[in-house]
Amino acid sequence: MRRIRLTLSYDGTGFHGWQKQPGLATIQGTLEQAVSEIEGAPVHVAGSGRTDAGVHAVAQVAAISIENPIPLPNLKKALNRLLPCAIRVLAVADAPLDFHPRYHALAKTYEYRIVRTEVCSPFERQYAYHHPYPLDTARMLELAPLLEGEHDFTVFAASDERDALGLSKVRTIFRSELEEVDGRLIYRVRGSGFLKHMVRNIVGTLLEAGKGNLDSEGLKALLRSRGRAGCGPTAPARGLFLISVEYQM
């Protein structure tokens, strides 16, 4: 048996997220169909995390276990031949048999893109949130780094079926920054892990700050609250990209 690590890039527009769902097009389901065709038997594809419907990935990481002796370069070519053009395998590599892309991840980086110009190009409309309305961007830039450090991010988490397990919602954010470039706001966040809708809820909260509805003390109070109420509305999925996943190996 071989354990193989895959690095993937995908346009999430036409998919119902990462996680396999009966009767729906998903990234995981589409990958499993392609890998299983090569293996000649059902193959499970494990991912580093479950991106939502409409969310994109520059470099998602997944892993498969197969017995097929196909050389890695040929496996990459075969997968890209079988997969739709919206999903590309960028790299394949041998991995330890116990490698899990989620549990062994040390950090992930996400990026959220907001177009601020009056008109959004049709070539960007599926890859950014168009928000041409007035914003105090200086306040947003000031508040973004306040999220750095170890916090309970319950207030920024959407309900999840795993909530019944009572798992900790404490995460460490290593970097949280907002940049204004050429009529766009780019929010980048690197952390030990992320909760369901966490980045999109953070972006929605920073937009509330930009509208004058939240200041630095209000954001700090949200982090201390550990409740589910008070954060801004969830920003649209189309502006979110998984940029990278980091490992020790």
Q: Which residues are catalytic?
A: 52
Q: What would the 3-class secondary structure string for the chain be? A: CEEEEEEEEECHHHCCCCCCCCCCCCHHHHHHHHHHHHHCCCCCCEECCCCCCCCEEEEEEEEEEECCCCCHHHHHHHHHHHCCCCEEEEEEEEECCCCCCCCCCCEEEEEEEEECCCCCCCCCCCCCEECCCCCCHHHHHHHHHHHCEEEECHHHCCCCHHHHHCCCCEEEEEEEEEEEECCEEEEEEEECCCCCCHHHHHHHHHHHHHCCCCCHHHHHHHHHHCCCCCCCCCCCHHHEEEEEEECCC
